Amino acid sequence: MSRVRVLVGTRKGAFVLTSDGKREKWKVDGPHFGGWEIYHVKGSPVDPNRLYASQSSGWFGQIIQRSDDGGKTWEPPGGGPTTTPDGMPKGESNKFVYEGEVGKHLWYDGTPHPWEFKRVWHLEPSLTDPDTIYAGVEDAALFRTTDGGRTWQELPALRSAKGHLWQPGAGGMGLHTILLDQSNPNRMYVAISAAGVFRTDDAGKTWRPATRGLKSSYELPDKNSEVGHCVHRIAMHPSRPNVLFMQKHWDVNRSDDAGETWHEVSGNLPTDFGFPIDVHAHEPNTIYVVPITSDSEHYPPDGKLRVYRSRTGGDEWEALTKGLPQRDCYVNVLREAMAVDSLDSCGVYFGTTGGQVYASTNGGDNWSPIVRDLPAVLSVEVQTLS
Amino acid sequence: MIRVELPFHLRTLARVEREVAVEVAGPVTLRAVLDAVEERYPVLRGTIREHVTQKRRPFLRFYACEEDFSNVPLDTPLPDAVVSGKEPLSIIGAIAGG
């Protein structure tokens, strides 16, 4: 029978939630790395028991952790076979050094400012090799390991895509989304807060902005600027990789030509500000967002936590409320905190800054909490296991 | 042997107890002790001093014999009581509000 494993990153540790295919009874394991911020945990699609976690702290910096048993035990890569003679973990799994000349981006005051590594926001395992993972980091850059996380190298060409014009927003200049095109191993998209979307067609050798059609009237002096758009999240369905969906700072957008052009599909949403966006596992035109009141009020409108679903790839949206609090709810749902499983009846999951993880086993029609009182949830990923 | 006291999160990361002991060849300076700790426990590289700049992470402090060594030059000799093993060098996670 199929099983589901939900990987939750929080402000104070990682949690692994598991259930059988019915998704009614859940086992909660954790916290792993208690007291550390876990920005993201994700499993390899090739080897589902191979998990990677980004563990960070304002005190001690960045650590990468790896599990080879589905999250039961963890090791900083470089441990295991390459431990020191007395068994201590060894390795440089937390060493992220920009390639070559560090270079400068724009600082808050408009002056050039050197890139400084702060943390890993997102880990994206390769679709074909469990030892290859991409890491999106702050200050925005893309790194890759090909040895299971022991060592990391930057793909520096990304920062040549007008990186000198990138400027952090209040949340930091993080590379938070990495989309791999399973039909074209050379194509990849990344999204960066306050910088935009960028695409490579040659496996990272060259990159260009993919932002034509985006409009940021409130955030940018030139609303059509090539870079500077505060993209919060992009998503695709693997069967239709040229169709992309985006939750921007304001506006939900769609591209039907692999990011060449975008158009707004906010339609009848009560507000088009929000963070996550995701696509149904079996219906490429069914998408989900969580509207948030505004950029100054990071909570749901009217104290009602509502997921909005569009079955038409945008423009026409319906509120999904059954099982979600419809009064006095003032949590946020962060960009990395929504995911879907691939069981026949698609499961949809999201976590909140109030520590709840909600699940729907029927594509969003009904919701119930798996857990209610975790630390603030930063990320949610789901693995469907056979 | 030089005794070094580690903060909670670095203990769990390196899988050691509150205090570790390292050998330092030559003058016992802050730099020499930190080098020895990182050599003995490689997983701690980058967690006390930033990888590239080798600067102390801002929220960590180095105390010994009731003195603050956080902002002294790294080649400053540590007190005799640390050299003899009577007192530890303490690496402290600073209070950060909240």
Task: Supply the mean pLDDT for chain A.
Answer: 94
Dump pLDDT digits (tens) for A255-268. Answer: 999 999 999 999 99
A58 touches B: beta carbon within 8 Å: yes
CB within 8 Å of A209: residues ≥ 6 apart: A161, A162, A196, A197, A198, A226, A227
A100 touches B: beta carbon within 8 Å: no
Higher pLDDT, A98 or B94: A98
What would the mean pLDDT of A115-139 be, rounded to a whole number? 97
The pLDDT assigned to A221 comes to 87
What would the mean pLDDT of A314-325 be, rounded to a whole number? 98
The alpha carbon of residue A291 is apart from the nearest alpha carbon of chain B, in Å, by 30
The pLDDT assigned to A301 comes to 97
Residues A376, A354: contact at Cβ < 8 Å? Answer: yes
Please report, for residues A232, A271, A292, A326, B60, the alpha-carbon distance to residue A295 in angstroms, rounded to integers and kept in the order given: 12, 10, 8, 21, 34
The pLDDT assigned to A101 comes to 83
Domains and their CATH numbers in chain A: 3-385 (2.130.10.10)
The pLDDT assigned to A140 comes to 97
CB contact under 8 A, B94 and A36: no
* Superfamily of chain region B7-93: Beta-grasp domain (3.10.20.30)
Nearest by CB to residue A97, choosing from B13, B14, B52, is B52
d(CA B42, CA A138): 24
A88, pLDDT greater than 70: no
Q: Sorting pLDDT into bands at 50, 70 and 90, what band is A84? A: low
Please report, for residues A21, A114, A373, B34, the alpha-carbon distance to residue A159 in angstroms, rounded to integers and kept in the order given: 43, 12, 39, 34
The pLDDT assigned to A126 comes to 98
Strand partners, B60: B93
A97 touches B: beta carbon within 8 Å: yes
Q: Percentage of chain B with pLDDT > 70?
A: 97
Smallest Cα–Cα separation from A380: which of A361, A362, A353?
Answer: A353
What are the chain B neighbours of A96 within 8 Å (beta carbons)? 51
Longest dimension (CA), chain A: 63
Q: What letters, b where the CB count within 10 A reaches 16 and e where it falls short, cover A84-99?
A: eeeebbbbbbbbbebe
Secondary structure element (H or E) that encloses residue B11, with its range: helix B8-14
The pLDDT assigned to A77 comes to 87
Q: Percentage of chain A with pLDDT > 90?
A: 89
Domain boundaries, chain B: 7-93
Residues A271, A304: contact at Cβ < 8 Å? Answer: no
Take residue A343 and report the two structure tokens written for it: 């069981």
Nearest by CB to residue A90, choosing from B13, B43, B57, is B43
What would the mean pLDDT of A28-45 be, rounded to a whole number? 97
What would the mean pLDDT of A32-61 be, rounded to a whole number? 96
What would the mean pLDDT of A272-282 be, rounded to a whole number? 98
**3 state SS for A47-83:** CCCCEEEEEEECCCEEEEEEECCCCCCCECCCCHHHC
The alpha carbon of residue A145 is apart from the nearest alpha carbon of chain B, in Å, by 17
Dump pLDDT digits (tens) for A157-183. Answer: 999 999 999 999 888 999 999 999 999
A191, pLDDT greater than 90: yes
**Can you say whether the dihedral through the CA atoms of A365, A369, A375, A380 is positive or negative?**
negative
What would the mean pLDDT of A86-93 be, rounded to a whole number? 59
d(CA A12, CA A373): 12
Q: Sorting pLDDT into bands at 50, 70 and 90, what band is A218? A: confident
A84 touches B: beta carbon within 8 Å: yes
A79, pLDDT greater than 70: no
The alpha carbon of residue B92 is apart from the nearest alpha carbon of chain A, in Å, by 10
Per DSSP, B26 falls in state S
What are the chain B neighbours of A88 within 8 Å (beta carbons)? 14-15, 40-43
CB contact under 8 A, B48 and A94: no
CB contact under 8 A, B9 and A84: no
What are the chain B neighbours of A35 within 8 Å (beta carbons)? 8-9
Which amino acid, A322?
Answer: K
- B80 class by beta-carbon count within 10 Å (0-12 exposed, 13-18 middle, 19+ buried): exposed
A334, pLDDT greater than 80: yes
d(CA A274, CA A185): 30
What would the mean pLDDT of B70-94 be, rounded to a whole number? 95
Pairing verdict, β B89-93 and B2-5: parallel
Q: Sorting pLDDT into bands at 50, 70 and 90, what band is B57? A: very high
The pLDDT assigned to A94 comes to 85
A81, pLDDT greater than 70: no
What is the complex's ipTM, to 2 decimals?
Answer: 0.91
